[in-house]
Structure 1
Amino acid sequence: MILKTEGLRKTFKVGFWGREVTALEGLDLEVKQGEVFGFLGPNGAGKTTTIKMLMGLIYPTSGQAWLFGRPIGDQESKARLGFLPESPYFYDYLTGLEFLQFYGHLFGLRGVVLGKRIDELLELVGMSHARHLQLRKFSKGMLQRVGIAQALINDPELVVLDEPMSGLDPVGRKEIRDLILRLKESGKTIFFSSHILHDAEVLCDRVAIILKGRQVACGRVSGLIDEGVAHSVEVVIDGLGPEGLARLRQMADRVIVQGTQVLVVLPGRQHVGAVLEIIRGAKATLVSLTPQKGSLEDLFIREVKNKQPELREAV
């Protein structure tokens, strides 16, 4: 197991009277070697707080966490780790080359070994053309890519990225997604946080979802969607009369009439048999019947709705 947490909890004291606020409550995670693991939740859910604890930057109030089987903060584990924070500071007077040389020196890399490593990384992130350009002239996407190169300078086994696609345009997000997939293909384990659910669905083997510091779901993306999201069905019917239409409205999420045709969206497959009976009884024509796959966003919205009363009571 590359990364594991048990009952991880973090509280802070805020305000003049030191009111206790819980940022994270009882987090249990396991990240396996070679997978892309998405740590998902809205802004303020506790994702960055969790990552700071995993990096040894802040200490948990209670619970335990391990990296490579060793307690967090262990120096040997840190040497096998690469990290890009959500809002990294870039020395904007440095060039891309100088920036990576600086971080390479922090890891004890020198000379030909460092030069070769930098060449490989700039090629990997598609930034070879900007090696002599000052960082102040980089776009947001370019900074993010050179930041990931920095996180890889020590050839880590685990790469932790905090909101790597935040603030990027669609092209920049795709570039980062493609880069993460290339890292996985090279054998890296990737742990990244995000509130952009589509990106996570495309990239991740497994995900955990947290809301207001509490874990509400964890597992394989396909499994979570299949178990937690009702798969809607779209049905197109031609020649359905008013009586059949009235019966459909009682079971459908949405009914759209377009001329002689009706588009019906059913909340689940369990209603298909009843709809077919209505069509036969009305002597109408079934034009098409199309199951719709659920998404990670559908699951997330469902979890938010289901957990809202419970979360309000906990605050």
Structure 2
Amino acid sequence: MAHLPLEIINLEKSFGTGFLNLKKVKPVKGISFEVKEGEIFGLLGPNGAGKTTTLKMITGLIFPDAGTISIFGKSSLSASSRKRIGFLPENPWFYEYLTAREFLKMTGGIFSIPSSEIRQRTDSLLERLGIAHAADTQMRKFSKGMLQRAGLAQAIINNPDFIILDEPLSGLDPIGRKDVRQLIIDLKKEGKTILFSSHILSDVEDVCDSVVILNSGLIKQKGRLSDLTATSAGTVEIQTQGPEMKLSDFPEKLRDSIQIESISRGTRLIFTEENANKNEILSFLIDAGQNIDKVFKHNRSLEDIFMENSSESKQQEN
């Protein structure tokens, strides 16, 4: 039986702050989720949601107060688990007087990769990440985008099965973002499992199979991205042909739930399914002598779902 690349159960973490660390802050409050093999999984949330703290616990940089983290069925702290992970932190630090080639050689040595294989992988990765031209340039001369590409190279030099990327698109220009998105997709095609956090929701929506949305240390939404956008109450648009209608023509109970505007040969109505019943509105329009021309349902985007869950937490805090 194949084990999940990542399984988290009831994970908690708190930190002491203030004078003598007497005040406790709890950035992660008992979260549970799993990442399936071969998928691209997005860990989302506003600043302070608990994303980076969670990733640090997964990679063993800090320890949880409670809960379990399993990687391929074993403790995340076991040597066998760590060998199967590649990690790019949000703000990686580099030995700035090393060249990119020297940096990757050092990283490969940490994983006990044979020297000949390190050279081969280094050349391949530098080419793949678009920085082969700067292979022998000291990294202190790299731009932010070039450093990010070098960081991505070190995250996969050990040919890991499970790749964890914290804000991998940070500091990249549009071309760089496109290249890295394609790299993530290509890694999936090679059978890798990728967990990454990002605040660039359009990029997540482009590549992710599943997501978890964190806020204030709690999971607000999780699941397949396609399921979340399909099941979330979306916007419905109805276009009719017939005499122009005004808001006053509708029953009073519907007036606060719909928006209407005049269009060529008819009327356009817009409403959300959580605020109004589509079938009830259609029946009313037909009874009013309107011909139904078009009915659209616009599923909510990931940004819509994200903002909804962020605003809910702010309201609860207030």
Both structures adopt the same fold (TM-score exceeding 0.5) = yes
Structure 1: stretches of 5+ with no match in the other structure: none
Matched residue, 1:267: 272
Question: CA separation of 1:264/1:103 partners in 2, compared to 1, >3 Å: closer, same or farther?
Answer: same
Aligned residues of 2:247 and 2:260 also touching (Cα < 8 A): no
Counterpart of 2:72 in structure 1 is 68
Task: Verify the 8 A CA contact 1:251 1:271 in the aligned structure 2.
Answer: no
> Take 1:235 and 1:140, find their aligned partners in 2: how far apart are those partners?
48
Matched with 1:196 is: 200
Distance 2:268 2:144 in 1: 43
TM-score (ref. length: structure 2): 0.87
Q: CA distance change for structure 1 residues 123 and 258 in 2, over 3 Å: closer, same or farther?
A: same
**Is 2:309 the counterpart of 1:296?**
no
1:175 equivalent to 2:179? Answer: yes
What is the DSSP-based 3-state SS (H/G/I as helix, E as strand, rest coil) of the residue aligned with 1:156? coil
Q: How does 1:26-45 map to 2 (within 5 A)?
A: 26-45=30-49
CA shift, 1:219, in A, is 1.1
Stretch moving more, 109-118 or 231-240: 231-240
Give, as a single letter, the amino acid of the residue that structure 2 aligns with 1:190.
Answer: I
| 2:215 counterpart (211, 229, 236) | 211
1-side partners of 2:103 and 2:295: how far apart? Answer: 56
Specify every segment of 5 or more residues in structure 2 that has no aligned partner in the other structure, as ranges: none
Residue type at the aligned position of 1:89: W
Supply the AA of the counterpart residue of 1:6: I
The CA deviation at 1:210 is 0.8
Aligned to 2:250: 247
Matched residue of 2:197: which SS? strand
CA gap 1:247/1:169 in 2 versus in 1, 3 angstroms: farther
Mapped partners of 1:240, 1:166: distance in 2: 53
Percent of residue pairs bearing the same amino acid type? 41
- CA–CA separation in structure 1 for the residues paired with 2:248 and 2:140: 62
User: What is the alpha-carbon root mean square deviation over aligned residues?
Assistant: 2.5
- Partner in structure 2 of residue 164 of structure 1: 168
Aligned equivalent of 1:13? 16
Counterpart of 2:117 (choices 91, 113, 120) is 113
Q: Distance between the aligned counterparts of 1:278 and 1:171, measured in 2?
A: 50
Is 2:101 aligned against 1:97? yes
Structure-2 change in CA distance of 1:259 and 1:220 (3 Å) = closer
The CA deviation at 1:238 is 4.8
Distance (Å, rounded) in 2 between the aligned partners of 1:287 and 1:251: 23
What do the CA deviations read for 1:142-171 (whole angstroms, capped 9, x no partner)?
A: 322221111111111111101112343333
Call closer, same or farther: CA 1:148–1:253 in 2, change over 3 Å. Answer: farther
Return the offset for 1:195. Answer: 2.1
Q: Give the TM-score normalised by the residue count of structure 1.
A: 0.88
